[in-house]
């Protein structure tokens, strides 16, 4: 996999002296750097310019997060959510997946790293000490790929050891990359789950342009397994196409040829869904992609989703195939209704978001 290198770095002077800024600048000696007191002018120029999504990804902005770092996952009440907390240390992604929701979700087209990590740790200390009884599942891979920039930022070297000493936290680093170099020697104490977004090889090749192959992702997971990390896998988005059954079965076969199911904390599934605004973006940026031409309906959260019987068919078959490898594996659905849960799992064990969160808290904590 080719590692991300920006064409330009913009450093907000407020984070000029931060550790993450130092790391990035030391790792990118030849890349032009611009220091700005206010990054908004540079961002506005990209946003108003030609092809902002493409141009934006070539610019790495190091700035401060002026809001909260830790926020609940923006799930909607209409669907059952896993109750995840998002640690917002960066936004945007360079992997150029055709279906990426960030293309129509983010306001800032640049690759952004919030370099005021000291503020982030202060906030985490404060939050986690307030309620030491609750279990927090915290992830960094909602608005970015957790590891895509790790060769530049070294963020994992800060965050994994930090959470290794927290008793009530499960950190999930979610990625499509094999950028795991920084993880291997870290003390994680079983508190970090490294998880991969997986798909069929066909989808990976056709729709996930700069992401490593499925085999490379599984190899990376294998290396993390060797050094004792717990693992997660996300079949999200599941893509419905002629040959999907064979494709996903092959991926599962390759996965469980290398990964011991006992090391897997969870596997999630989610059908491809998108904001209606994303369709013209995909048509323009990825004209060869056909994934938006299947049968979608407006979901109760306003996103377009596969027609429900298609989703139920995909989840049910996937579940059956996964359970063939290990019936005890924790499998959950991302943002689905109680009805879909019931029809897929043939039982009513997950009635609401609280139920699901509880199940995952217990599974993830099962060191």
Partner 1 sequence: MGNVEYKQLDLKSIDLTDTTFVITYGFTLTQLKKSIEKIGILNPPLVKKKSEEQYRIVCGYKRLLVCQDIGIEELRCAVMGQNIEDKDTFLTSLYDNLSHRALNPVEKSITISKLQKYYSGEIIVKNFLPLLGLNSHYSVLDRIKPLSGLDVKIKDAVVDGRIDEGVAAKFLNFSEKDRELIFQLLSALRFSKNKQNEVIDNFYDITKKDGCSISSILDAKELRDILADSSLNIPQKGSRVRYFLRKLRYPKIVKAEKDFLEMKKNLNLGDSIKLTPPPSFEGDKYCIEFQFETLDDLEENLKRIDSIKQNKEFKRIIEG
Binding site for partner 1 (CB under 8 A): 48-52, 78, 290, 293-295, 297-300, 305, 307-310, 312, 337-339, 342-343
Q: How far is the CB of 365 from partner 1 (least distance, A)?
A: 31
How many C-alpha atoms does 109 have within 13 Å on its Cβ side? 18
* Nearest CB to partner 1, comparing residues 72 and 309: 309
* Nearest CB to partner 1, comparing residues 157 and 290: 290
Q: How far is the CB of 344 from partner 1 (least distance, A)?
A: 9
CA dist 301 and 78 (Å) reads 7
DSSP per-residue codes, 193-250: EEEEE---HHHHHHHBTTSPPHHHHHHHHHHHHHTT-EEEEEEEEE---TTHHHHHHH
* Nearest CB to partner 1, comparing residues 252 and 318: 318
Residue 322 and residue 331 in contact, taking contact as beta carbons nearer than 8 Å: yes
Q: How far is the CB of 39 from partner 1 (least distance, A)?
A: 19
CA dist 155 and 114 (Å) reads 11
Q: How far is the CB of 342 from partner 1 (least distance, A)?
A: 7
* Nearest CB to partner 1, comparing residues 188 and 305: 305
Q: How far is the CB of 59 from partner 1 (least distance, A)?
A: 17
Give the phi and the psi of residue 171 in degrees, each rounded to 5.
-95, 130
90-91, strands of its sheet edge to edge: 33-36, 8-12, 59-63, 111-114, 90-91
* Nearest CB to partner 1, comparing residues 184 and 297: 297
Q: How far is the CB of 295 from partner 1 (least distance, A)?
A: 5
The three-state secondary structure class of 140 is: coil
For the chain, how far is it from start to end, CA to CA, in angstroms?
A: 31
Residue 57 and residue 109 in contact, taking contact as beta carbons nearer than 8 Å: yes
CA dist 92 and 275 (Å) reads 17
Q: How far is the CB of 90 from partner 1 (least distance, A)?
A: 26
- What SS3 string covers 295-327? CEEECCCCCEEECHHHHHHHHHHHHHHHHHHCC
Q: Classify residue 164 by burial, with Cβ atoms within 10 Å: 0-12, 13-18, 19+.
A: middle
* Nearest CB to partner 1, comparing residues 254 and 343: 343
* Nearest CB to partner 1, comparing residues 51 and 253: 51
ω into 219 cis (within 30 of 0): no
Q: How far is the CB of 24 from partner 1 (least distance, A)?
A: 29
* Nearest CB to partner 1, comparing residues 30 and 48: 48
Q: How far is the CB of 348 from partner 1 (least distance, A)?
A: 11
* Nearest CB to partner 1, comparing residues 8 and 343: 343
The three-state secondary structure class of 120 is: helix
* Token pair recorded at residue 320: 């059956």
């Amino acid at each position: 996999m080719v590692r991300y290198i920006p064409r330009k770095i913009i450093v907000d002077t407020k984070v000029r002296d931060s550790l993450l800024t130092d790391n990035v600048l030391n790792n990118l000696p030849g890349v032009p750097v611009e220091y700005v007191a206010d990054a908004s002018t540079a961002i506005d120029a990209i946003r108003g310019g030609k092809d902002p999504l493409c141009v934006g990804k070539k610019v790495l902005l190091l700035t401060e997060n002026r809001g909260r770092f830790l926020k609940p996952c923006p799930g909607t009440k209409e669907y059952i959510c896993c109750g995840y907390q998002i640690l917002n240390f960066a936004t945007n992604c360079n992997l150029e997946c055709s279906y990426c929701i960030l293309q129509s979700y983010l306001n800032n087209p640049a690759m952004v790293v919030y370099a005021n990590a000291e503020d982030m740790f202060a906030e985490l200390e404060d939050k986690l000490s307030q309620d030491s009884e609750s279990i927090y599942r915290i992830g960094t891979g909602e608005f970015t790929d957790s590891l895509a920039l790790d060769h530049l930022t070294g963020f994992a070297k800060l965050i994994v050891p930090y959470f290794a000493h927290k008793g009530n936290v499960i950190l999930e680093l979610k990625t499509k990359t094999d950028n795991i170099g920084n993880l291997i020697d870290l003390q994680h104490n079983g508190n970090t789950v490294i998880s991969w977004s997986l798909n069929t090889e066909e989808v990976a090749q056709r729709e996930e342009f700069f992401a490593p192959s499925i085999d490379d992702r599984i190899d990376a997971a294998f290396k993390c397994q060797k050094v004792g990390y717990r693992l997660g896998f996300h079949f999200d988005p599941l893509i419905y196409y002629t040959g999907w059954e064979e494709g996903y079965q092959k991926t599962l076969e390759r996965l469980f040829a290398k990964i011991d199911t006992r090391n897997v904390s969870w596997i999630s599934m989610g059908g491809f869904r998108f904001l209606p605004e994303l369709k013209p973006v995909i048509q323009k940026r990825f004209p060869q992609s056909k994934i938006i031409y299947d049968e979608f309906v407006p979901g109760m959260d306003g996103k377009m989703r596969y027609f429900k019987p298609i989703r139920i068919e995909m989840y049910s078959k996937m579940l059956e195939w996964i359970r063939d490898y290990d019936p005890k594996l924790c499998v959950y659905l991302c943002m689905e209704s109680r009805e879909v849960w019931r029809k897929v799992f043939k039982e009513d064990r997950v009635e609401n978001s609280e139920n699901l969160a509880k199940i995952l808290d217990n599974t993830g904590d099962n060191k």
